[in-house]
Each structure stands twice: as structure tokens, then as C-alpha cells.
Amino acid sequence: PPMDGFPHCKEKLKWLGEMWRTDLCYSNYGVNGSLCSILIYLSEIESWCPVLPGRVALLENSEAVSDHVVVRESLTGLYPSLEKRVQFRWIHQRIRSMEDIWVKAGRSLSAKYNLTERKAKQILVHPGVVTDESGVRIAEAAFSGGPLGELVQWSDLISTLHILGHHLHLTASIPDLKHFLGIKTGGCPTHKKVEANLIYTDIIGLRQIQAILQASWIKYRCRIRVLDTFGTEPDFNHVDWAKEHNLKSPFGSLNLIPMQFYTMFPHTPDNTFLGFVVQHQWSSEETEHLKSTRRQNQALVYGKRATFWEGKGAYMDVIHKYLEIHGTVDQSAGIPGYVKNHGIIKGTEVQALLRQSKVFVGLSFPYEGPAPLEALANGCAFLNPRLHPPQSSLNTEFFKGKPNIREVTSQHPYAEAIGEPYVWMVDMHNSTDVERALTAILNQTIEPYLPYEFSCEGMLQRVHILIEKQDFCNSTGSWPPLSALQVVKAEAKTSCKQACQKMGLICEPAFFPHLNSADNLAKYGVDCQTSELSDSHLVFPAYNSSSKHCVFQSDPLLFSCVRSDQSLIRICPCRDYIKDQIALCQACI
């Protein structure tokens, strides 16, 4: 193009032509040594040269075109930014393999609800766990039998956000993140194109964001959502409380609002339930095939490592009396000789085995994984071993250091709540008990079962509502609607989680502030003759029935659904929920 008005263009072209390799930032902007790429850089990122015909310089205010969103009809737009980053290899595979069911679910949801009145959000997704800098190496282990739960969840979250129509920005390394946040990393100027309205990350990723932005990370605090598999309870989250009460955890003390932690299963109502998707829908071809494969008298054992099988010989012998036993174990040494071991196989092959089997056998470890739900969705019953005593960070190595003291009463508490005929609780060391479960299972036909909240559509519905309604930046916006509030008293030694559950409800921490005053409690028939404010416990608001003295919480970060007191009665904020969509109240959608 004519160089009029750009006196320095030629000399800059020459300079960058020689120097572009000296700083990685140039190639991040697409400079590859060709004259064309250099001219594009010098005109669009810096402004030494004229913009080439047919191209436009990126506008600083491109976020001004914050438009209405539409539900997307494909995931294709997502692939370039996944392919570009090796850290997303496993995630990319899962997303691609599920494209059809995501698109169908998006159509189905928009047919049910009017999703047109939404503003597009700029969303940063930064899974710290996949970054090389984290040292976790989960992205590589995923291909050799490593734990997959977190990658499954990240895949499904990314698909969800894309289908819902928002603008996604994926980062998978520190330079990537710096680039997005507009931090100067080399000779190139910073070029901050967008401001994130919402940030999904994990604890590792949050630490990386804090390290990069230093004190100015605070600006983003309320926009952050932290994926946190097992959950963080308020006392572990609260930095001063944790220090004072010696609640040591490498993952606690983040001082966020507890609902900013997004969990894998609905563990503690103090956090938000994000979930993931259980694969269950097959192409019509597969469905045909499925009809022709009759279920065999076959059990598949849940345990990829031979060590999980140790001490379970007698349990296996009982099951073997009724069923042929199959396994997907890393090595056959140490497992009974009658087990047909398939070794570590792909997810689709595991699903094929599940569809030929009648029972999926838990070995009591791993805890709370996705596999049992996949088994139910593929038509197996699940043998769910009880844990005696219940396991928690106080008595079990696996949970040590996790920022909660939640007690796990079986290998899979979420499945435990589903119950028979899908889930059968067993005492692995009591053959009578195991036989009771097996004879009952084999004497009926068990249909595939998938709770709505673990389907694509269920996840789209939930995340859609959370994005539109859940707001930690603006305290005046109240959600869920107060009309969903039901006040329940929890007797001494009972937590709000338990008290609400007993009434068929769930504890809703968003309502705690509303109950935290004598005037409001009077409306619900609680008569406080005297009262005080205190931050000495996590059970407030609460009252003493003999003195009618009420205690209110002075530190909002110490509201908690899960603690109880020896003698005080808690006043609990409960709400209803949609069956199989526990994150949402009936009036929430």
C-alpha cells in the first residue's frame, strides 16, 4: 500500500524482518517472517504502517459490540483455540465426540425456554490444572488411566458456555493468561482487547491469576468462579478463622464467597453445584445394536488399579457365584484368576462393557467419581460399598488437606441418595448382605437411569441460569427469589443442611443475610427477646430456647449450612428444588 503519512514504516519493516525471532510475542501475534505477516503486525498491533486493503485494525472498544446471544448450532467455532493448545488435547477429544448431543440439547432447551433476551458475556476459562506451570501433568496422565474427573468437568463447562452463545477466551499457560489479561510479556505492546465479565478457573489457576495481577486481582474477585471438585467449607475458606482454629489446608483460606466454589457433585449447599455430563445417548445405529446385544450375566468391576482390589477376594468370590466378572485393570497380577481383564481401555469400550453387564461393582475406592453414574445411565445396577466409619479429612489419607470435613458414608454418596433399584448399599465383608443385593438385582430388569442434572440439557439449563442470575458483584440483586425461602428450625446438634433435607428442601446460603435480624425473624415466628452480634461460631443466626436470646452473624463469610451446635437452635434458610436439578428452585427458571 502507499506509505504516505507513515515515514517510519520501511525502517520498521526491515528491523522486524531481522528481529522477529528475538521475542516470542511477535509470533504469538502471527508474525512468521513473511513480509505480509510483518506488515499486518506493524499496522494492526502497532501503528507504524498503513493497514492493508481488506483488513481492519482491531478496535480497542470491540467489547462495545456486546450483543444479544443466540444458542449456537455447532461447536466448530471452539476448535481452533482448543487445537492450538496441546494442554487441551483430552478436553478437545471429549468435546468433539459429544458435539451432536450438545447441539441437540441446545435446541431442546431453546424450544422450552425463551433464551433470546440475554447479553453476550466475555468469559475467560483458565483451567490451572492443565498448565505446564502447575506441574500436575494431568493432561498427559489422562491417556494412561489417570483420574479424569476434572478434565471431564472442564470439557463439559467449555461446551456449555459455547452452546449458550457467550464469547469464550481459553488460556492454558502463564504467557497465554498474561496475554489475555493485557500484561506486557516482551517487546510487543500490550493489546487488551476484552475485559472478562466472568472467569472460570480452579485453585491453581486462581493462584496464577493472583501472582500475575498482584493486588489488582481484587478487581476481578467477584467475577471469579473456582472449580473445586470436593468443595470448600466456609470455616476453611475464611482466612482468619482457619488460622485461628488451625484448619490447615493447602487449598483453603481463599476468602471468597463460599458459593464461588463450583463442585463436581452437590456436596455442601454452601458451594454451588456445577456438575458435568454423563454420556448416555447413542446414535440411532448404536441404539439398534444395543437392542440386539442382550445383557449377559456379567458384572464389571470399578477399579483401574490392581491395588484397589486388595483385600476384596471374598467379596469377589460371592459375586462370582452369580455373575461372570470383568475388569479394566492396569495389571492382572493380584486380581482373582476368574476375572476377565480387558486392561485400560477407551471410554467408549467401557460403555460397551457396561451395556452387556447387569452390575457395576464398587470396591469402596475411588470416591465420588463419574463412573457409577455412567454405569446407571448404561443400564447397570451399582453395588455401593458402605464406609465404616464414614471417611473424611479427619480420618482418611485421601481426603487429608481437602478444605472440608464432610463425612462420606459410602463410596458414592450421590448414588447412595438415588437408592434402589439402581443403587444397592452393601457391606463388602458380609456375604449375606452382598447376596441379598445380587439376588434382588438379578430378579428384575433395571432400566437405564440418568438424573436430568447430569444430562447435557440439564447442565445447559443450570449454567444458563447461574450465568444470568448469580451475581457476587452487585449485592442489591437478590437471587434466588425470596419467594422460594422456607424457614426451618434445626434442633440442637443438627445442621441446616440436615434440617432442610429432612423437610425435603435444601439449605440456601443466599438467604442467610435475610434471616440475620430480629425484625425479620419475628416474621417467621421466632421471638428474640434479646440479641447480639457475634463471629464466634458458624451456626448463626441461632437462638437459645430457654433464654430466648438470639445470636446473629457479624461476619457474612461465616454463614454456613453444614455446622451445628450442642445446645443452640439454628434458624435455617431452606428452599425447594427441582427434582433432579437440585441447584435450581422451582421459581428459579
Ligand X SMILES: *[C@@H]1O[C@H](CO)[C@@H](O)[C@H](O)[C@H]1NC(C)=O
Which positions touch ligand X (CB under 6 A)? 30, 32, 34, 36-37, 40, 114, 116-117, 430, 432-433, 436, 439, 443, 474, 476-477, 544, 546-547, 567-568
Q: Which is nearer to ligand X, 66 or 351 (CB)?
A: 66
For ligand X, give the closer residue by CB, 501 or 544. Answer: 544
What DSSP string describes 218-252? GGGGGGEEEE-TT---HHHH-HHHHHHTT---TT-
Nearest distance in Å: CB 461, ligand X: 17
474 three-class SS: coil
Give me the least distance between CB of 530 and ligand X, in Å please.
10
Nearest to ligand X of 9, 450 (CB atom): 9
Cell 452487585 sits on residue: 474
Q: Could you tell me the smallest distance in angstroms from the CB atom of residue 505 to ligand X? A: 25
Decide the pairing of beta strands 569-575 and 506-507. antiparallel
Q: To the nearest whole angstrom, how small is the minimum distance from the Cβ of residue 27 to ligand X?
A: 10
* Cα 466 from Cα 276, distance rounded (Å): 14
Q: Between residues 141 and 222, which has the closer beta carbon with respect to ligand X?
A: 222
Helix (H, G, I), strand (E, B) or coil at 484: helix
- Residue 300 bridge partners (DSSP): 326, 360
Nearer to ligand X, 36 or 503 (CB): 36
Is the Cβ–Cβ distance between 509 and 561 less than 8 Å?
yes
Between residues 114 and 483, which has the closer beta carbon with respect to ligand X? 114
Contact at 8 Å (CB) between 156 and 276?
Answer: yes
Tell me if residue 181 falls in helix, strand or coil.
helix
| Least Cβ distance, residue 95 to ligand X (angstroms) | 26
Q: Which three cell numbers stand for residue 339?
A: 476375572
Residues whose CB falls within 8 Å of the CB of residue 569, separated by 6 or more in sequence, listed in order: 489, 490, 491, 492, 542, 543, 544, 545
Nearest distance from C-beta of residue 473 to ligand X, angstroms: 7
In one-letter notation, the amino acid at residue 354 is: L
Q: Smallest distance from the beta carbon of 529 to ligand X, in angstroms? A: 11
Q: What is the rounded distance in angstroms from the CA atom of residue 394 to the CA atom of residue 199?
A: 32
The maximal CA–CA distance of the chain, rounded, in angstroms, is 91
| Nearest distance from C-beta of residue 210 to ligand X, angstroms | 24
Cα–Cα distance list, 402 to 232, 262, 355, 496 (Å): 8, 15, 35, 22
CB nearer to ligand X: give 159 or 260: 260
With respect to ligand X, which residue has the nearer C-beta, 97 or 545? 545
Among residues 334 and 477, whose Cβ is nearest to ligand X? 477
> How many residues are recorded in the chain?
589
The H or E element spanning position 431 is: helix 431-442
Amino acid at 95: I
Cα separation, 240 vs 219, whole angstroms: 22
Angle, in degrees to the nearest 10, between helices 35-44 and 9-19: 120
Q: Which is nearer to ligand X, 568 or 583 (CB)?
A: 568
Q: Give me the least distance between CB of 432 and ligand X, in Å please.
A: 4
Helices (H), 239-312: 239-244, 284-292
Kindly report whether the peptide bond that precedes residue 385 is cis, defined as omega within 30 degrees of 0. Answer: no
Report in angstroms how near the CB of residue 205 gets to ligand X at its nearest.
Answer: 25
